[in-house]
Amino acid sequence: MGKVGIIGVGQSAFVRAYPGSLKELAFEGYKEAVKDAGITAKDIGASVVCSAPEYDKQRSPAGVIAEYLGLNPQPTFYVETLCSSSSMGLKLAYSLVKSGLHDSVAVIGIQKMSEISSAESQERMGRGTDIQWESPFGTMMPAYYALFAQAHMAKYGTTLEDLSLIRVKSSTYGPLNEKAVFRKSLNLENLTSPDSRMTAPIASPLRVGDCCANADGSSCIIIANEEKAKALSKNPIWILGLGAATNSVNLTGRKIYTGLPAAREAAKQAYEMAGISAKDVDVAEVHDCFTIAEMMAYEDLGFANPGKGKELIHGKETYKEGSIPVNVDGGLLSKGHPIGATGGSQIRTIVQQLRGEAGEIQVKDPEIGLVHNIGGVGLYGNVTILGR
């Protein structure tokens, strides 16, 4: 059926508390994407709405959002894989277009996390693990990733300073991203001084500065088959590779704790489909829900050997001017993390990079970009490879 291209991308500002409804928030990302693509709702054959439903008061949000966006009577689908929902939504949309069922599909990521309290949110995140064997013991996301950090430190000698340097990089680019929640520059002293709020403990060894924050936000990615993409877009970005994998929901079922096997398997699939290797990637967005998550992503994706990810951050190789720029839009650590919208936001950043439209964070002449998006505690792994 030919290639599948991305013709439009959009994203709302990510904020701590959006004042409008879920439908209005979805429109924020959607309106930017259709304007970017130069199309209207009648040009979209189907929609895929992506979120984690436990945060929504609206039951079956896909139909409600599709109606509000004027996408009826076209079919709408609902996808949920926790924090990787909109990356998985893109995989579904790709399949719908590649099969010939639809010539274009909009992937809409959405989350309004401020609908519930922080305590309720943490409890629901804990339920992303096994509700029979793990979450009853009070495990939450920071605690899980703290276990990964402890394991990485024990095996490879990773230090708090190594992790702090990842947040320093994030805060170098966060102030340049008008869509980000946190736009304040931080230095190493801010992240290591005992008098700094950023060093307040969350789950040892992780501190405030090591953790991303919940946010409200939406994203939208519009894809089309090769014929329609070329007709509608002067510069379509092509989907070259898609990888997805799942892992044991219980951490006791994992074979390693210094990386995420689902991410490694998803990367392997995506590289094979695209016919490339890690060294061919020019710019990447990785799922930095915690600083240790970005460190593990360097190694899981093959940008560094196991235990050597810290060399990339110390050498500034993951900065805009480095050999493999990573999260030069500030990543989740600066942008915030509206669960269902996060993958779409990452994809938007890479599309803008490949088009040469990223402004102050533009990497020099990238041809291939990668998105690494994780759901839950490494339960779901998604890797997307895009090319111009």
State which residues form the domain around 52.
4-117+214-232
Quick check: is 356 in a domain? no
Q: Model confidence at 133, in pLDDT bands (50, 70, 90)?
A: confident
Q: Hunting for tokens 């892992």 — which residue is that?
A: 247
DSSP symbols for 72-108: TTS-EEEE-BTBTHHHHHHHHHHHHHHTTS-SEEEEE
d(CA 353, CA 363): 7
For the segment 317-341, the average pLDDT, to the nearest whole number, is 98
pLDDT in tens, 227-240: 999 999 999 999 99
Q: Model confidence at 59, in pLDDT bands (50, 70, 90)?
A: confident
Q: Which of 82, 63, 62, 71 is nearest to 33 (CA)?
A: 71
Percentage of the chain beyond pLDDT 70 is 100
Q: pTM for the whole thing?
A: 0.97
Quick check: is 257 in a domain? no
CB of 356 within 8 A of CB of 362?
yes
* Vertex 238: Cα angle to 274 and 282 (nearest 5): 65
Using DSSP's 3-state secondary structure scheme, residue 204 falls into coil
Quick check: is 238 in a domain? no
CB of 168 within 8 A of CB of 188?
yes
Quick check: is 342 in a domain? no
Q: What residues are annotated to the active site?
A: 83, 337
Using DSSP's 3-state secondary structure scheme, residue 15 falls into strand
Quick check: is 311 in a domain? no
Name the amino acid, one letter, at 355. R
Quick check: is 266 in a domain? no
Quick check: is 82 in a domain? yes
Residue 128: pLDDT over 90: no
Residue 1: pLDDT over 80: no
d(CA 195, CA 211): 18
For the segment 20-49, the average pLDDT, to the nearest whole number, is 97
Q: Which of 341, 329, 331, 260 is nearest to 301 (CA)?
A: 260
pLDDT in tens, 217-263: 999 999 999 999 999 999 999 999 999 999 999 998 999 999 999 99
Amino acid 132: pLDDT: 84
Which residues pair with residue 369 across a beta bridge? 283, 386
What strands, in cross-sheet order, belong to the sheet with 104-112? Answer: 76-79, 46-50, 104-112, 216-225, 4-11, 237-246, 380-387, 368-375, 283-285
For the segment 74-101, the average pLDDT, to the nearest whole number, is 97
For the segment 43-48, the average pLDDT, to the nearest whole number, is 98
* Vertex 90: Cα angle to 261 and 363 (nearest 5): 80
Amino acid 120: pLDDT: 82
Residue 189: pLDDT over 90: yes
User: 10 Å Cβ neighbour count for 181?
Assistant: 24
Quick check: is 34 in a domain? yes
Which residues pair with residue 243 across a beta bridge? 383
Residue 278: pLDDT over 80: yes
Q: Model confidence at 134, in pLDDT bands (50, 70, 90)?
A: confident
Amino acid 126: pLDDT: 78
Q: Is 4 exposed, middle or buried (0-12, 13-18, 19+ CB in 10 A)?
A: buried
CATH number at residue 69: 3.40.47.10
Using DSSP's 3-state secondary structure scheme, residue 52 falls into coil
Q: How many domains does the chain have?
A: 1
Which residues pair with residue 386 across a beta bridge? 239, 369
